[in-house]
Structure formats: C-alpha cells, structure tokens
Amino acid sequence: MKVNSKQTGFSLLELILVIVLLGILASGAGLLITTPIKAYSDQLRRTQLVDMAEMSLRQIARDIRRALPNSIRTNQNMATGVTVLEMVNIVAGARYRDEVGGTFTAPFDMLDFNQADTDFNFLGTLVSGITTIPAGQRLVIYSTAPTNFYAAASSNDNVGIVTPANSTLTLSQNGTEQHLNITPAFEFTDPSPGQRSFLIDGPVSYICDPLEQTKMTRYTDYSFQVDQPTTDIALSGLPGVRQGDVATQLTACSITYDAGTAQRGGIVTLNITLSDDTGESVTLLHQVHVVNVP
C-alpha cells in the first residue's frame, strides 16, 4: 500500500543560511559582552595604579606633617632621575618654661640658655606614661635650617640645637607640670620665640628611582648624616637601617620643596607616575603644607 506524506526536510541551502545567521548573531553578541569586560578590566588596572599612588602620597604626606620644622631637604639627580626626600620625625612636642610663674619660682623650674642646664619644666606634658625617654630620642629647641640641624645632630657636639645621642632624658612630675632632667647637662643656646621644644627619634628618607629599580623606597632607623644620602646604596649601607617599598611600577617621580620665607611655612610638591605592563599609566600630583615655625 502506498503512503503519501506532505512532510519535507530542510534543504542544504536553508541550513547554511541558518548557520551563517547564527554566526552573525553570535559575533554581535560577543562584541556586546567583550566591550564591557574590556572596559572593566581597563578600569580595574587604572584603579589599582591610582590606589597604589594615593597610598604612597598619603604616607609621605603623613611623615611630612610630623617632620621637625626646618628639617626637610631634597635632592634630584636629573641624569639618573633619582629623587630623594629627607626629614626628621617628631615623637612629641611641648612648650618649655623659661620664666617664673605661679608657684614655679625655683631655678630648676626654668630652662637657662646662658649655661649648661640639667633640668627644667614643660608647660604641660611632653610624654605621658613614661619616666625614662627611650635611648635615641633627642630634644630639639630652635632648629632654623637643615644645614645647621644635621651638622649638629650628626656631630653629637654641644652646639645648642639638639641634645647629644648619649644624653639620658628623664621625666618626672613637678606639681601640675612635667619636669625633664638631662644627663649630662646641656646648653641650648637659642630660645624659641614660642617656647617650642620637640622630641625626635631619627631621620626618614624616601628615594624614587624610576629608571633602574622602578620603585619608591622608605628608609628609617639610620644615623644622622651631615650630607644627605642620595642613593639606595648609600642609605641601605648605613648601620641599623630599615627599608620598605612604598610604591612599585614607578616610571616617573618628582619631589620639590619650597621652604617659604621667614621660617613660617613651605610647600612640598609630589608628582609620581605609575605604569603597568599593558601600558596603562596614571600620574598623581599632591602638595603638602610644611610648618617651619621653630
């Protein structure tokens, strides 16, 4: 018996047309998906570079704001591209007593600038909770220029700006004021107009090397140097020094310092560029105000 059927299949041409159309649609859909993914990837790389640069600048700015007045010095080697920033870290600060007042009339209450003195009061508290100030921390009064300070701090001589490294500083309570004893006696030669004194613990350096090491490094816990160390080799070779990378992928760096006038204030301008292996690059500029009132 013969069976008639009206069902028919796809022709080869129809199948080819369907495959071609599906390929076109898939390509279009792929472009719709690929473009946002690429944009997200680019944005992620830029964000990572910006975050690294911002964290680096914030760390430098934090150290600058805690720097001893008139202790900042910079050096930039145009041939190598290496830039160096150095400053001295302040641990604490207080106003010293230099004249009688209230019940404080005894000679040991006041700081004598005419001879080596062993003890005097602060108008408040220098450091709370301790009696003996840790070794290596030194008291500074009226530092007016980096050249004078670093020469005094590194020579360890009685030059009237900073107590020697081998001095023993002991705190005690004298009524409502804190009392400092210095052993051996030390003569501060110039009084601060605002009776300011600062307790410091050592220098801090940042070195930007965009050409050879493509990074920024922070150095601490090294001894004071008359001449500013200007290379990684010079700093890393100092006894006791500690170092850590602040930023990597560095391709350009500039740190300039305008000390201002009349020892009142200055500006540090930081400019760094970071790049990744894809060619993505970001440049950040940051300025930090420096208080230089001694």
Q: Coil, helix or strand for 27?
A: helix
Bridge partners for 206 per DSSP: 85, 218
H/E stretch holding 251 reads: strand 250-258
Q: Which residue has the higher pLDDT, 220 or 34?
A: 220
| Residue-range domain boundaries for the chain | 46-88+203-291, 89-200
Asked if the model's pLDDT at residue 96 lies above 70, the reply is yes
Q: What is the pLDDT of residue 238?
A: 94
pLDDT, tens digit, for every residue of 206-250? 999 988 788 999 999 999 999 999 999 999 999 999 999 999 999
In this structure, of 10-14, 100-104, 289-293, the range with the lowest mean pLDDT score is 10-14
Tokens for 177, please give them.
């004021």
Q: How confident is the model at residue 156 (pLDDT cuts 50, 70, 90)?
A: low
pLDDT, tens digit, for every residue of 116-148? 999 999 998 999 989 999 999 999 999 999 999
Which residues, 6+ apart, have CB-to-CB distance to 75 below 8 Å?
83, 84, 228, 230
Cα–Cα distances (Å) from 145 to 38, 186, 294, in that order, read 53, 20, 9
Asked if the model's pLDDT at residue 93 lies above 80, the reply is yes
